[in-house]
Amino acid sequence: MILLDGAKVAHERNLMLKEMIEKDILKYKRAPSLSIILVGDNPASQSYVKGKGKACDLVGITHKLYNLKEDIKESELSTLIEELNHDDNVDGILLQLPISKHLNESKLIDLISKDKDADGFHVVNQGYLYQKKPTICPATPKGIMTLLKSYDINVSGMDAVVIGRSNIVGFPIARLLMDAGATITVCHRQTKDLAFHTRTADLLIVSAGRAELVTQDMVKPGAIVVDVGVNRVDGKLVGDVFFQGVSQVASYLSPVPKGVGPMTINALMENTYELYLKHVQN
Ligand code: GUN
């Protein structure tokens, strides 16, 4: 089994990005900048946001964190987003999800300017993605595609099974894999017989949000398995794939941590850089 070492690939890409940003700072007289909005004190979100800030520091993206109270009024959050939309020194805006239940998540995401949408979650950017037009691509699916490419994995003609249908991972990765020539099955909570589908997969992408859901018996020998899950069990991070078992049968497998997570953050850095270039070149 070959480990899909996201931490290594992401670090190499971040170093390349750092070099490009250094040159562009001289050319455009300012660094790219990312504004991160975190609502409340969810420990997982705090940890993700910290990782994003650290990556910004490494590659040379200036970043500012807006840590807002859990019970912030929607109107206050809207005002902040509008201000950032109009701030000429801001290239990218990210609203860390999930946000408090009383806030209208989809409305707030769509309030972020589509030209500053570092996550690629804006309805217009997702529309471009689904119509196969150039756009900012959601970070996790983009990171997964980059990880597969880094290992020279060509998905064309593969039978790919995606577990999960979220707007953040499942749905967009299905689209990207289809565009890359794979045949796609998307499984979810209502799927009658999950193992029946997963056993057909040449490529299995697991984004179910359930610790160690996928076991060895559910994986075809030689399959490529990408684990998007991050679950805390007894103080330890585990994925949605039972690593020890599945590593016995898979040809490639991404670990948790140090698999998809760092690739997501690298893709976010690349997205912010892309938004910056469009912004300064206009
Ligand atoms: N929550 C879980 N994944 C993500 C992500 O990629 N971006 C944001 N903003 N929130 C998330």
- Counting residues of the chain whose pLDDT is more than 70, the rounded percentage is 100
Tell me, what's the pLDDT at 107? 98
Could you say which of 3.40.50.10860, 3.30.230.10, 3.90.700.10, 3.40.50.720 is the CATH number of the domain covering 30-115?
3.40.50.10860
- Counting residues of the chain whose pLDDT is more than 90, the rounded percentage is 100
Q: Which of 112, 119, 144, 270 to mutate to test the pocket of ligand 1 (most atoms within 8 A of CB)?
A: 119
Tell me, what's the pLDDT at 60? 98
**Residues with a CB atom less than 6 Å from ligand 1:** 94-97, 119, 139-140, 168, 264
Say which residues have a Cβ less than 8 Å from residue 168's Cβ, sequence separation at least 6. Answer: 97, 121, 138, 140
φ/ψ of residue 23, rounded to 5: -65, -40
* 77 contacts 64 by C-beta, under 8 angstroms: no
Tell me, what's the pLDDT at 151? 98
Q: What integer is the mean pLDDT of 117-143?
A: 97
Q: Where are the alpha helices (DSSP H) in 29-157?
A: 43-59, 74-86, 105-111, 123-130, 139-150
Q: Which atom of ligand 1 is nearest to the CA of 268?
A: 6
State the angle between helix axes of 6-28 and 139-150 in degrees (0 to 180), rounded to the nearest 10. 110
- Quote the CA–CA distance of 248 and 264 in Å, as a whole number: 26
Average predicted confidence (pLDDT) for the chain:
98
pLDDT in tens, 10-29: 999 999 999 999 999 999 99
pLDDT in tens, 76-92: 999 999 999 999 999 99
pLDDT in tens, 55-114: 999 999 999 999 999 999 999 999 999 999 999 999 999 999 999 999 999 999 999 999
Strands 159-163 and 92-95: unpaired
Tell me, what's the pLDDT at 254? 98
What's this model's pTM, rounded to 2 decimal places? 0.97
Q: What integer is the mean pLDDT of 131-160?
A: 98
pLDDT tier for residue 213 given thresholds of 50, 70 and 90: very high
Nearest residue by C-alpha to atom 1 in ligand 1: 97
Tell me, what's the pLDDT at 137? 97
Which positions are catalytic?
52, 96, 119
Q: What integer is the mean pLDDT of 211-240?
A: 97
Tell me, what's the pLDDT at 278? 98
Strands 183-187 and 236-238: unpaired
Q: Which atom of ligand 1 is nearest to the CA of 95?
A: 9
Tell me, what's the pLDDT at 47? 95
Nearest residue by C-alpha to atom 11 in ligand 1: 97
Where in the sequence of the chain do the CATH 3.40.50.10860 domains occur?
Answer: 30-115
Tell me, what's the pLDDT at 110? 98
Q: What integer is the mean pLDDT of 172-192?
A: 98
Where in the sequence of the chain do the CATH 3.40.50.720 domains occur?
Answer: 139-261
Q: Give the CATH number of domain 139-261.
A: 3.40.50.720
Q: What integer is the mean pLDDT of 270-277?
A: 98
Tell me, what's the pLDDT at 227? 98
Tell me, what's the pLDDT at 260? 98
